[in-house]
Structure 1
Amino acid sequence: MSRTLFIADLHLCQEEPAITAGFLHFLQREAPHCDALYILGDLFEAWIGDDDPNPLHQKIANALRALPVPVYFIHGNRDFLIGRRFARDSGMTLLPEEQVLELYGHRLLIMHGDTLCTDDQGYQRFRAKVHQRWIQTLFLALPLFIRKRIATRMRADSKQANQHKSLTIMDVNQQAVEAAMQRQQVRLLIHGHTHRPAIHSLTLQGKAAERAVLGAWHSEGSMIQLDASGIQLIEFNF
């Protein structure tokens, strides 16, 4: 059966070996039996540069490179610094933050999803800053130990800030969703980021449309399967 798989928000790190083991199992058992695998951001919990010698990164790169199917990657808010070196080592193709696909008769838009959370103005201001090329270049030029300290502090600050935000603010803005889909002329959107797996129905210019949200890999895996019959959100044990 021809099908394409989408995943996001694994947040891989050395502190969560069960998630890593679950992902490696997925790459061995599930991913080889598809036409392509799309990773829609936050594959890793943090990324401070392709030169980080973290052994987890090489293990994941080797597993991805061994896949007999193409792998595509859209940056997330946690791993937006993944660069060409890691992409080359893992055999992944880097995509822009919004990508339109034509698959099995479906025209769809894929993205990480953080740009849709426009009600969280504090985060959007932060995102705009850290996506400036000169800031990224400056950060990557710092010694590795300093980058690690900065990343640890930023994760702690983000966690604390999110504790004081409502769930509504951290979810997508419906107008932003509709604007993105209309701009790209699609009636199917797949994204991650919010950790709220579901398939939502909506109406765009009088026509039925769908927004599919991937779940985070906390205690189980989450993937979306797309084939000629449509989309399916699937959760599975590690």
Structure 2
Amino acid sequence: MSRTLFIADLHLSQQEPAITAGFLRFLQRETQDADALYILGDLFEAWIGDDDPNPLHQQIAAALQALPLPVYFIHGNRDFLLGKRYARASGMQLLPEEQVLNLYGRPVLIMHGDTLCTDDEGYQRFRRKVHQRWLQKLFLALPLRLRQRIALRMRDSSKDANQHKSVEIMDVNPQAVMETMARHQVQWLIHGHTHRPAVHTLTVNGQPAERLVLGAWHSEGSMIEVTPQGLSLIHFPF
């Protein structure tokens, strides 16, 4: 059966070995008969450079490299610094932040999803700042230990800021969703980021449309499966 798989928001880290084990089982179990695997960002909890000798990163790269199918990656807000060196080691192909796929005759827009959260103005200002190439190059030129300290401080600040934000502010803006789908002329959108898995029905350009949101891998796995018959959001135990 033809099938293409999508995942996001695993937030892999050495502190969460159960999620890593669940991901490795997922790769072994689900990818053998799939056409492709798309990772829509936040595969890792944090990324401070391809030169980080973290053994978890090496373990995941080896597992992805060994897969019998193409693997594609869109950067998330946690791992937006993941670069070409790690992509080569993993056998992943890096994609732009918005990509339209032709899946079994169906045009589908895929993205991480953070750019749709336009009501969170503080985050969007931060995102624009850290996505400046000169600043990224400056950060990656710093000693590894200093980058680790900066990343830890930024993560703590982000957690503190999010505690004071409403769920609505951190979710997608409906108008941003409509405008993005209309701009790409698609009726299907797949994204992650919000950690609010669901299938939303809407109308875009006067036509029925669907927005499918991947779940985060906190206590169970989450994937979207696209086949010639349709799109499905699937949860499964680690």
Give the TM-score band, short-chain normalised.
over 0.9
Q: Distance in 2 between matches of 1:190 and 1:205?
A: 18
Aligned to 1:130: 130
Query: In structure 1, the residue corresponding to 2:109 is in which secondary structure?
Result: strand
Structure 1: tracts of 5 or more residues without a match: none
Deviation at 1:205, TM superposition (A): 2.0
Q: Distance in 2 between matches of 1:32 and 1:65?
A: 13
Q: Distance in 2 between matches of 1:18 and 1:179?
A: 38
The AA in structure 2 aligned to 1:85 is R
Q: Distance in 2 between matches of 1:196 and 1:74?
A: 19
Aligned to 1:24: 24
2:90 is the counterpart of 1:82? no
Query: TM-score, normalised on structure 2?
Result: 1.00
Percent identical pairs in the alignment equals 76
Aligned residues: 238
Q: What value does the CA root-mean-square deviation take over the aligned residues?
A: 0.4
Aligned 1:102-117 pairs, distance under 5 A: 102-117=102-117
Aligned 1:49-128 pairs, distance under 5 A: 49-128=49-128
Residue by residue, what CA displacement relative to the aligned partner does 1:24-53 show, whole Å, maximum 9, x if unpaired? 001111122200000000000000000000
Aligned to 2:10: 10
Q: Distance in 2 between matches of 1:191 and 1:103?
A: 15
Deviation at 1:231, TM superposition (A): 0.4
Query: In structure 1, the residue corresponding to 2:78 is in which secondary structure?
Result: coil
Q: Distance in 1 between matches of 2:112 and 2:6?
A: 11
Aligned to 1:143: 143
The AA in structure 1 aligned to 2:22 is G
Aligned to 1:176: 176
Query: TM-score, normalised on structure 1?
Result: 1.00
Deviation at 1:139, TM superposition (A): 0.1
Aligned to 1:199: 199
Deviation at 1:105, TM superposition (A): 1.5
Deviation at 1:131, TM superposition (A): 0.1
